[in-house]
Each structure stands twice: as structure tokens, then as C-alpha cells.
Structure 1
Amino acid sequence: MPDVFINYRTGDGEQAAATLDGALSARFGRDRIYYASKSIPPGTPFDGHLIHSVRRSGVLLALIGPGWIGHGALHSDGDWVGREIQEAFLCDIRVIPVLLGRRTERPTKDELPPPLRKLADCQSLRYDHQNKEYDLKQIGDNLARLVPGLAAADREAPEEQDSPAPTYNIAGGVHGTAVQGTVNGEVNTVREAHGPVHIGPSNVRMGDGGNYFQGGNEGGIRQSFGRSRPEEDDER
């Protein structure tokens, strides 16, 4: 089942269609991109194959070149380009206009036949062969975000890096207040402490009433209340 259906008009966008097919097939897989010249088997009635493939696709790229609007077939009932787009709208399939070149503008509703006027409201992308590498990447990135199947098959998706293992401070059986500081490189564990506990770097200066200890606590914790300010404070 194709995820992307490339819709284009002969004489206006077939070269860009071939380029897009090659780039997207290389990125997501050949079978995920529908391009009529490649995807219709020899001897297969093209009309049924085209409509069936549009209905099963996830998104339709409508390639619009400088001569797309002025083409005589646009307002004809037998225009297959228009029929594919119309079928996508009827099946509630996302249609993305791809404007070819730097100067091609998105069609206005007045320029389109009634069944295709919704195309004027669709947000577009641009493909310019002079900006080929960037534009192809932008189109591919947008498709990967919009179509879940493509995201899973994306060969250009960034590799996930393993996160560093977390560091934990564990205080068990603490009755009272436990103040935990930053631990770098090792785990500090305090168990069966009764009273305030401070876990932090060994160079932390404690004020009156604070407790800092390492090792066992079987003998209890002694608190020291002394002068915590410099002697000069009394003279101010």
C-alpha cells in the first residue's frame, strides 16, 4: 500500500515527479511511494489502478508547475490529474500542493473548477530544482511527521542516544527533616536516622543545629550550637 501518491501533469511536472519519486523512495522505501510510470504494472488498466491507489494512500502530493493552471485539460471531465485530486478530497486524504519553481503561486479558487477549489485552501510546499537538496529534505521531513508509516520507515531519522544512568539519593526510615544535596558520581544512602539529616558534599559549611555525618548512626547525632558569625559582627 503506498503512503504517498505523486500527482502530476505531463508537460508541466513529470521531471519533478521523477525526482521526488527517486528521493522519497530512497528515504522511505520504493513501495511506499506511488508514481504512475513506476507503479502501474504492464497491461494493467490504469484508470482503476490510479483510483484504487489514491484511496489507499496516506497523502497526495499535487505537483503544480507554471503551466498547470493554464492547461486546457484542467476544466475537462476527463482530466486525470483533477480526478485524482478530487478522489483524495472525497476520501478525506490529505492533499499537499507542491509548487514547482520559485515563481509558481498557489491557485486561487476562481482559477479552479468547482470540485478542486478546496485545493486553494491547502497549505503548500515548494520544490525548486535550484534548491533541490533543501527542498527535498523539507518535503521528506513533513511527510515523516504527517504519515506514521513513513516515520517508522524513515532512513534519515536521527538515531536515539542512550541517556546516562540516573543517580539516586535514598533516605530510609527518616523521622523528621531530610535535606538532600547534589550527588555526583556515587550514591549516598542513609537508613534508620531519627532527626534532621543533611546529605551533601563533604565541603558543605553547616550552620547552628545542622547535622552532617557519614557512616553508621548507632550512637545518635550530636548537635552543636556555637558562634556561627565572625567576631567582627558583634562590633558593628
Structure 2
Amino acid sequence: MPDIFVNYRTDDEDTTATLIERELSRRFGTDRVFRASKSIGIGQAFPRELLTAVRRSSVLLAVIGRHWSAARTADGRRALDDPEDWTRREIIEAFESGALVVPVLVGRTTRLDRHELPAELARLADCQYRRFDNRDAESGLRRLGDDLAEAVPRLAEAEGRITRELGGDESLRADGRTDGGTVQIRDYRHEQSGGVGAVGGDLGTYINHAGGPVHTGSGTQHNTIRNGGVEFHGDGSNYVERGTVTNDFGDRRDRGERRR
């Protein structure tokens, strides 16, 4: 069940909405943050899933940019005045369900004027907002997450649980998941002194402080002592001599391999 519903208008600040959702998912867990294009699965009933998620959420973040209120329907009407406009419907549903509604004003000049809003949305202008500037995105995301963790204790608990499961190592938070999700190589730290080890899943094999001949290819390795070094022959030869590494793989056509 989501705690945070990210509301936005397509072609206004959908990129910023995605950025906010991904950061909050990283921090609190992906299942706790709802964004329509991420959270509604293929073939599911779009209206039902949207309205159910809004009703079950504790917070709705209304991401609002410069073009939010100026958007038009296909027949030229202002979208906010259209009862079928999803951006409008989600916000009204959040108010009716008692969710905390937080306008996130994108950019330094975006404003909300209650006199420019339809009557059903006028109270949105009275809600305490947060301003988000892409030029200072990192601190803005951190502040927004801190505010949400304070406002919704379940989120603080979820964050603490994720941190404990990761052993307090923030570098392992690759995609907000602790259930076997993807870990980027650049985010993975493994401490081992010497030897050969495997880095989680499909990330590969590493060699730390190798003290002798090591072959990482698929061919047969033959070791031959030479003057000044060691020679390795396999499916292509590798040899080390006086600190220089040379790779000779020959022509793949000779081995019947297809070039990519």
C-alpha cells in the first residue's frame, strides 16, 4: 500500500515528478511511493488503480510547474476546469479522503493563486507548499524526504528498517529495494585482502592482489617461463613481461566466431 501519491500533469513537470518519486522510493521503498506510469501494471484498470491509490495514501504531492494551470483539453478548455481531468480528480480525491496535500512548486517563480483555481481546488492554495529548484535538486529532495518522514511516522520507520537491512551502508541503496533489486557496480563496496571473489549476482569476478599467473578467459592456460616474465597461451594469448601487459586475440574468423 503506498503512503505517498505523486500527482503531476504530463508535459508540465513529469520529469521532475519522476525524479522526486525515484528519490523517495530509494529512501522509503518503492512500494510506498505511487506514480502512475511506474505503479500501474500492464492491463490493469487505469481509473480504478489511480483512485484506489489516492484513497489509500497518506500524502499527495502535487507537482506544479509553470504550465500546470495553463494546460488545455482537446476542445480548448482549461484542463483544471474539466471534471474528467485526472490531475484535478486526484487532488480532489485526496482532499476528500483526508490525505495531507502538499503542493511542490517547481522553479523560483511558480505561484498558486486561489482566485485562478476552480472552486473545487481553491483550498490547494492554502496548503503549505515546498519549493523545488532543479538547480539545487539534491538539497530539495533531502528536505522533502525529511519533511515527509516527520509528517508520516510510518515512512520514518520504513527508512529505518531499510537502513538496518543494509547494515547502515547508504552506498547499497541502488534503487530503493532491499529484496534482491539491482545494485550498481559503482555503488558496491567489497573489502577483501587478496584472492579471487565474486561480486553479487551477475556483476562478475574480481581479483585482488594477485600473486601469480591468473587467466580469466575461456581457453586453456599454459604457463611457460621466459626471460623476464611469464607467458600464457589460451584462446588468444596474454603475457606479462617486466610490468607490460599485452593481449593478442588474433582474428575471430579463424575460430568461427561472429563479429558484433
Residues 45-101 of structure 1: per-residue CA shift (max 9 Å, x gap): 110100000000010000000011112211111100000000001111110000011
Matched, 1:136 2:118: no
In the alignment, the residues of structure 1 paired with residue 118 and residue 162 of structure 2 have an alpha-carbon distance, to the nearest angstrom, of: 39
- After TM superposition, list the pairs within 5 Å mapping 1:117-156 onto structure 2: 117-154=122-159
Which residue of the partner structure matches residue 34 of structure 1? 34
Which residue of the partner structure matches residue 10 of structure 1? 10
Match of 1:42, SS?
Answer: coil
- After TM superposition, list the pairs within 5 Å mapping 1:61-80 onto structure 2: 61-72=61-72, 73-80=79-86
Which residue of the partner structure matches residue 172 of structure 1? none
Q: Residues 85 and 128 of structure 1: is their aligned pair in 2 closer, same or farther, counting only changes over 3 Å?
A: same
> Which one of 101, 106, 110 corresponds to residue 115 of structure 2?
110
In the alignment, the residues of structure 2 paired with residue 119 and residue 79 of structure 1 have an alpha-carbon distance, to the nearest angstrom, of: 16
In the alignment, the residues of structure 2 paired with residue 76 and residue 132 of structure 1 have an alpha-carbon distance, to the nearest angstrom, of: 32
Structure 2: where are the runs of 5+ without partners?
A: 73-78, 165-260
Overall identity of the aligned pairs, in %: 47
| Paired residues of 1:12 and 1:65 also in contact (CA < 8 A) | yes
Match of 1:98, SS?
Answer: strand
Match of 1:69, SS?
Answer: coil
- After TM superposition, list the pairs within 5 Å mapping 1:1-236 onto structure 2: 1-72=1-72, 73-105=79-111, 107-154=112-159
Match of 2:12, SS?
Answer: coil
2:110 corresponds to which letter in structure 1? T
After TM superposition, give the deviation of residue 155 of structure 1 in Å.
Answer: 5.1
| Paired residues of 1:27 and 1:156 also in contact (CA < 8 A) | no
2:128 corresponds to which letter in structure 1? Q
Which residue of the partner structure matches residue 174 of structure 1? none
Which residue of the partner structure matches residue 177 of structure 1? none
In the alignment, the residues of structure 1 paired with residue 161 and residue 15 of structure 2 have an alpha-carbon distance, to the nearest angstrom, of: 24
Match of 1:60, SS?
Answer: strand
TM-score by length of 2: 0.59
In the alignment, the residues of structure 2 paired with residue 25 and residue 94 of structure 1 have an alpha-carbon distance, to the nearest angstrom, of: 18
Match of 1:154, SS?
Answer: helix
Q: Residues 44 and 108 of structure 1: is their aligned pair in 2 closer, same or farther, counting only changes over 3 Å?
A: same
| Paired residues of 1:27 and 1:155 also in contact (CA < 8 A) | no
In the alignment, the residues of structure 1 paired with residue 27 and residue 130 of structure 2 have an alpha-carbon distance, to the nearest angstrom, of: 18
Structure 1: where are the runs of 5+ without partners?
A: 160-236
1:3 corresponds to which letter in structure 2? D
Residues 197-216 of structure 1: per-residue CA shift (max 9 Å, x gap): xxxxxxxxxxxxxxxxxxxx
In the alignment, the residues of structure 1 paired with residue 71 and residue 38 of structure 2 have an alpha-carbon distance, to the nearest angstrom, of: 24
| Paired residues of 1:55 and 1:88 also in contact (CA < 8 A) | yes
TM-score by length of 1: 0.65
| Paired residues of 2:3 and 2:32 also in contact (CA < 8 A) | yes
Give the alignment's Cα RMSD to 1 decimal: 1.7
Match of 1:74, SS?
Answer: helix
After TM superposition, give the deviation of residue 156 of structure 1 in Å.
Answer: 10
In the alignment, the residues of structure 1 paired with residue 3 and residue 28 of structure 2 have an alpha-carbon distance, to the nearest angstrom, of: 9
The structure whose Rg is larger is 1
Q: How many residues align?
A: 158
In the alignment, the residues of structure 2 paired with residue 156 and residue 68 of structure 1 have an alpha-carbon distance, to the nearest angstrom, of: 36
Match of 1:115, SS?
Answer: helix
